């Protein structure tokens, strides 16, 4: 933070993640109004980073994108043909790269003035539905999901939508 302060930075945009929220069996819904509650190491580190940014720059904008997809980034490539995948009924919380870029562009240009923005735009259908459809569309081997056992996940919602 000392380097940033030394350069008199006026606008700060911090890209965090939806992993600041805990997955749970009842698939809770989190919005910009909810307090982060992660227990994972990564989630806790992001929560601390958000607090540090906010303590130095009260006007900073924090973006919490879901999992990034678009271009060559499609997680179904890693899941194709895998078996025993957990949480088939959990929602996916993904964001298309172009949509995320558009949100960042609007923030930088002063068209979206919010201190915190969740960025998730893919349909929040189940993991099983989403990844099977993606595998079919890409002509890949279907992933196989474990149907038994405790399932955890979360819905991440945003109060801000653009027309992409």
Strands (E), 16-74: 29-30, 61-65, 67-69
* All structural domains of the chain with their residue ranges: 2-156
Question: Token pair for residue 50?
Answer: 């958000």
Pairwise CA distance, residues 77 & 49, whole Å: 31
Judge whether 82 and 56 are in contact, CB under 8 Å: no
Is 3.40.50.720 the CATH classification of the domain at 2-156? yes
Beta-carbon contacts of 87 under 8 Å, excluding residues fewer than 6 positions away, are 23, 127, 151, 152, 153
Q: What is the pLDDT along the chain (164 residues), one digit of tens a residue?
A: 566 667 777 789 999 999 999 999 999 999 999 999 999 999 999 999 999 999 988 889 999 999 999 988 899 999 999 999 999 999 999 999 999 999 999 999 999 989 999 999 878 899 999 999 999 999 999 999 998 889 999 999 988 766 54
- The reported pTM is 0.89
């Amino acid at each position: 933070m000392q380097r940033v302060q030394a350069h008199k930075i006026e606008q700060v945009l911090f890209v965090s993640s939806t992993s600041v929220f805990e997955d749970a069996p009842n698939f809770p819904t989190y919005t910009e109004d909810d307090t982060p509650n992660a227990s994972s190491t990564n989630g806790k580190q992001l929560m601390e980073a958000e607090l540090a940014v906010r303590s130095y720059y009260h006007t900073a904008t924090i973006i919490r994108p879901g999992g990034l997809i678009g271009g060559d980034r499609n997680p179904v490539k890693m899941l194709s043909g895998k078996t025993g995948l957990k949480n088939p009924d959990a929602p996916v919380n993904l964001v298309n790269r172009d949509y995320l870029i558009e949100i960042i562009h609007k923030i930088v240009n002063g068209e979206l003035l919010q201190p915190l923005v969740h960025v998730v735009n893919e349909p929040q259908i189940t993991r099983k539905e989403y990844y099977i459809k993606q595998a079919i569309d890409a002509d890949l081997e279907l992933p196989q999901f474990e149907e038994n056992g405790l399932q955890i996940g979360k819905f991440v919602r945003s109060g801000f939508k653009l027309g992409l």
